[in-house]
Amino acid sequence: MDDRQDGKELIEIIKSAVENTNEAFVTIDQNHKVLFFNRAAEKIFGYSREEVLGNDLDVIMAPSCSQDHHKAVDRYLKTGIPKRVGHESELIATRKDGKTFPVNISFSVSRVNGEFFFTGIVRDLTETKALQDRILRSERLAALGQFVAEITHEIKNPLIMIGGFARQLIKKHNDDKTQSKLNIIAEEVQRLEELLEELRAYYLPRTLQLEEMDILGLLQEVYDLVKEDCKRKRIETEYKRPGNPVLIKGDRDKLKQVFLNLTKNAIEAMEQRGKLVIKQTLSGDKVEITVKDNGCGIPEEHLEKIFSPFFTTKRHGTGLGLNISKRIIEDHENSAMSLDSEVGEGTSFTVTLPLFKAGTEGLNINHRKEDQ
């Protein structure tokens, strides 16, 4: 094999390597005509090779970038002094669909037969920037979480003392006016304590303690905790736990927090009388748990904001409960929470969780009615 053949093979090897790299390679001549546009360039910029090769580089550049690029090439041809050649730069590029995205570009120049050729190696930084933003946001939240934890600790201790003294005084005073004022103090202290706990839950870093668990057993616990409250408020309940377990992998305490929050919200939405339904349905490899009430419903203008932090329609609500609940569910892989509501008809929250193992084949729910 002669040197010429070896040279051809080497060129083919280099060409194949450049063609199949993850970075976009774009080569132009000194007249800005595109000579090389590899597969990664097609993917990153959204243009096919046929749309770019032989055309001015302007076809893939925004007007402002095009002007700067033309000036840079002309300056190099006149002076031979590189400004960006041999260096990396972070720029904002534009895809074919008009969307902008961050890129890292390194420029090189070569001279063949007296003519100059310029190559840009382009790396899409979209995912890198998104990861950096997540890390930065996480660091900020961690610092804020530590600050909130320290503040809530300092506030909670005197609150506990105030609430305790108020409850002691309630037992000692028979005067109606005094008792009424002390009851207000005790209730407001409890509300503030709950707010502090929700603030801690919202700002502190979230970690899940995953375990194999029967979600139906957890729902039974939640139902047992709220049914007496329903009975006092004359709210009818519907719930039946099937005999066979339905196993998931989740954080038991946090999921219990979610379903307690949803059932308590449902009870508050009905005030006096009404109907609370808790049901579960197997759907493929997932289980769907619905908590439904026939209360006042949520106005349409509030639906988009209902999961936003600090948004609430309650007189004494913090606006964090639903936001925290939704985040807990979404922290569980392949899980989701959805909402359906109609004013005057009621509200349904549905939590979807992937099955870990199913101890039942087909889940038929025949609700047991308990008229409270």
What are 135-160's pLDDT values in tens digits? 777 677 666 666 666 677 677 778 87
**What's residue 362's pLDDT?**
41
Look at the block and give the residue holding tokens 């668990």.
Answer: 213
pLDDT at 366: 36
Mean pLDDT of the region 185-204: 74
Q: Where in the chain is the domain with CATH 3.30.565.10?
A: 210-370
Annotation: CATH topology of 210-370: Heat Shock Protein 90 (3.30.565)
- Where in the chain is CATH 3.30.450.20? 3-124
pLDDT digits (tens, 9 = 90+) for 215-258: 999 999 999 989 888 888 888 888 888 778 899 999 998 899 89
Torsion of CA 314, 318, 321, 324, to 10 degrees: 150
Residue 364 has pLDDT above 80, yes or no: no
> What share of the chain has pLDDT > 70, as a percent?
83
CATH number for the domain running over 129-203: 1.10.287
pLDDT at 359: 46
Q: Which residues contact 193 (CB under 8 A, 6 or more apart)?
A: 156, 159, 160, 163
* Model confidence pLDDT, tens digit, residues 258-290: 999 899 888 888 876 788 999 988 888 899 999
Give the pLDDT score at 290.
93
**Fold for domain 3-124?**
Beta-Lactamase (3.30.450)
Note the pLDDT of residue 109. 87
Q: Which ranges in the chain are annotated with CATH 1.10.287? A: 129-203
Give the pLDDT score at 142: 66
Contacts of 309 (CB under 8 A, 6+ apart): 202, 319, 320, 323
